[in-house]
Each structure stands twice: as structure tokens, then as C-alpha cells.
Copies of this chain bind each other. A is one copy, B any other.
Amino acid sequence: MKKLSTEIIYIAQQAKKASEGLANLPTEVKNKALLAMAKAIRERKEDIIQANKQDLELSKGESSAFIQRMVLDEQGVLKIAEHIEQVSKLDDPVGKVIKEWKAAQGLHIKKLRVPIGVIAVIYESRPDVTSDCSALCLKSGNAVILKGGKEALNSNKAIAHILTEAAAAYLPQGAISLIPFREREAVDILLGLNDYIDLVIPRGGESLIRKVVEKSRIPVIKHYKGICHIYVDEDADLDMAQEICYNAKVQKAATCNAVETLLVHQDKVVPFLPLMLKKFQKAGVEVRGCEQTQKVVNSISNLKIKAAEEKDWQTEYLDLIISVKIVQDLGEAIEHINKYGTKHSDAIITDSKSKAEEFLQRIDSACVYWNASTRFTDGYQFGMGAEMGISTDKIHCRGPMALEELTSYKYLIYGKGQTRK
């Protein structure tokens, strides 16, 4: 434990030192480092695939979903290189003037975008997080400390080793580092190092995030679960409602921006639900309905649906399951969403501008949609060119997090000898 602690503190100190140099690195140098990193990943793809095979060997017996997240074949490795190249093409947010004005006694103030400093990313079994986060942190001028899941340690080590070696000529030492330990305590030690680390970003399931929030003395930006809702209003265009609901559930059910609960206005139940549910059934979606939904659906069609329990409204299925609730009006829909939602993404389908505006204003979520699929909550879809995750916090940044969200700012104040009166 003592040795572990000493080594992790050393890594954090090196990162802190590196962050000073990184903050002032010209964009061209950062881009050269990124391109060298991508090239090295392509050239040494076999090393990564071999390391990944070791991890897969050690994970025999795990669920297929678990294995699927971990596996890196040739295509997967080439995607890693492509992502790094994409980041090199993005605008550098560092050094941009956010605002500029004259203040007291003619002082000239510039609010300037700067890197945050040292960012620790704590994640689970996906090894491509290692390279994605390294590239985004580097481009935004931050040093990064990576702590991935122990199951993928060989893959992560191989990727981090290739990246740091390739970038060594351009970056200060310690700019990218990986915590190379399997021990659980490594995370606890890291979360106490608020003298060296400025921000922690956990990426993974609910229990990982809860643990990080509980232990961390460093600010955390949470990328928490997405219990997303679609409300089909009495003034909804029903064809549009069907297409959007189908897309938001079926197109990629395992993502945090997929819909989990469908709320339907009581006057739209008969024309809307039976058709919608048949479509879901065809796609293999399991439907769990509130009492009224069950009653109505069972009485007018030959569909049998399961009962939704209280805990269904609180569940992010991440799977082909959807819960359905009939509501009296817009107000009840809004209340349900603000109670059970996770401040992620929610949508209303309606032709009524006034109802849409009320929904947009009152729903307290990062992304609130009018007549579009919740699946658009994504850094790339939003035009940010990248994505570090989706923040469900309201502090620092909210919703899709890309390069700009990985920065802070400082004030430069230009005087001519002014003193305070």
C-alpha cells in the first residue's frame, strides 16, 4: 500500500509538472504529437492485438457483453488511430479570448481560455478510452492520468506505451500516464491527490461513479446514467411520434441517450399505442406498461404486455425494453420526467408551439428536444467534433463534453499603474 501510494503520487506530480509545459504548447506541436501517435498505433497494431488477447484469455467466463466491450481486433485498432487523427483536425480551444472589456479606472480585462491542468480519467473495461481521452486531453492542453479497469490492463498498457513513446519528442514527460496497477486501492489513492489533480472524470456504470463521488476530494464531472423520456402529446403528429420513438429505442438500445420511458397523453392512447407497440414487438422490444396502459392495450388489441413497477421508472435498461405510462396532461408528463429523469435527454412530440415551449422551459435536463430523437445527444451530432462523455452535472459543463468543456479560463488584466481607491 505504501509503495503503491508513493508510485501513484509520483505519477501525479509528474503530470502536474507536465501540465505547465502543456498549457503553453503551440497548436502545431500538439497536432504533430497527435499525428505521430496515430501513426505509431497503425504501425504497431499487432502489439495491441496481442496484449488484448492476453486480457481476453484472463477474462474467460465473463459475459459476452463484457467481452465485447473489451475486444480490440484490427478494425478496432485502426479506429483508434482514426479518432486520434480526427482530434488533430479540431480547433484548439486554448488561448481563445472569451470576452474582453474595460473595467475600473480603465483597466483592460481579457477572459482567456486555458487548460484545466491535470485530468484523471477513471474507466472500466473499454481499452479505446485510453487513446480517446489521451488525444482529447492533449489537444485541450491538459495532462491526463488514466486508470482503466484491471481486466484490460495489458491492452491499456500497450496503447499508453505506444502513445507516450510516439509523442515523447513533442510533449513534456508525464503528459500522458497510465496507472499500471491492478489493486483497487489505486483509485482511492488517486482520488485523494487534490494537490496535483484538478478534475476527475469517471466513465462507466453507476456503481463506479457513485464510488468516485463518495471518495473524491477532487472535483468530479459525472457522466451518469440516462433515463431518457419521450412524451407523446395530445397534439402530436402520430407518424412522426412513431418514427422518433422507434428510433430512440431501437437504433442503439445500449447507449445512454436511448429512450427508456414513453409517456403518452391519455387522448392519444387509442390511435397511437397499439400500432406503436406492434412495431416495438416486431423489433423484439419488451414493453412494460402502467396499469392503464395494460388495460387499454389488452382491451383493444391482442398484445399482452407486462406490468411496469415503481422501479421500472427508475431503471436505465440499456436494452430492448421500454416502460410506458399514460398521463393526463403535459403537467403530469413534466412532473414525471423531473422526478424520475437523470437530467440527460428528454423529448416532446407535439405540433403545439406553446406546449413545446413549456416543456423545453420546465424540463430540467441537459438536452431537451422538440420533435426529434433523444439519440442526437452526442458530441459529434452536436457538431463538437469529439466526445469525452455526457455530463449529467450542472456544474462546469452539461450535456456533451468535448474540447471546450475540457478547459477553464483566466483573466489577464492590463494596467498602466492603477491602484485601488
Partner of A417, one of B104, B109, B362, B371: B371
Query: Given A372-B413, A395-B396, A413-B368, do A251 and B104 touch, yes or no (CB 8 Å)?
Result: no
Question: Is B373 within 8 A of A117, CB to CB?
Answer: no
Question: Is B20 within 8 A of A362, CB to CB?
Answer: yes
Within 8 Å CB of A376, what residues of B? Answer: 103-104, 107, 413, 418, 420
Question: Is A23 within 8 A of B373, CB to CB?
Answer: no
- Contacting B at CB under 8 A, from A206-226, are 213-214, 217, 219-221
Question: Is A419 within 8 A of B367, CB to CB?
Answer: no
Interface flags, A248-272, vs B, CB<8A=1, else 0:
1001000000000000000000000
A61 within 8 A of B: no
Within 8 Å CB of A243, what residues of B? Answer: 417, 419
Within 8 Å CB of A284, what residues of B? Answer: none
Question: Is A369 within 8 A of B417, CB to CB?
Answer: no
Query: Given A101-B383, A373-B420, do A360 and B395 touch, yes or no (CB 8 Å)?
Result: no
- Contacting B at CB under 8 A, from A324-377, are 338, 360-362, 364-373, 375-376
Within 8 Å CB of A371, what residues of B? Answer: 414-418
- Judged by DSSP, the binding face of A is mixed
Partner of A399, one of B194, B244, B246, B411: B411
A383 to B102, CA, bound (A): 9
Q: In the complex this chain forms, how many copies of it are found?
A: 2
- Contacting B at CB under 8 A, from A399-421, are 399, 408-420
A188 within 8 A of B: no
A338 to B24, CA, bound (A): 14
Query: Given A109-B382, A361-B24, do A219 and B395 touch, yes or no (CB 8 Å)?
Result: yes
Within 8 Å CB of A199, what residues of B? Answer: 394-395
Chain B: minimal CB distance from A417 (Å): 4
Partner of A364, one of B20, B360, B399: B20
Interface flags, A133-169, vs B, CB<8A=1, else 0:
0000000000000000000000000000000000000
Question: Is B373 within 8 A of A418, CB to CB?
Answer: yes
A380 to B117, CA, bound (A): 28
A240 within 8 A of B: yes
10 pairs, CB–CB < 8 Å, chain A vs chain B: A104-B381, A243-B419, A248-B419, A251-B419, A360-B412, A368-B413, A370-B413, A373-B415, A373-B419, A373-B420
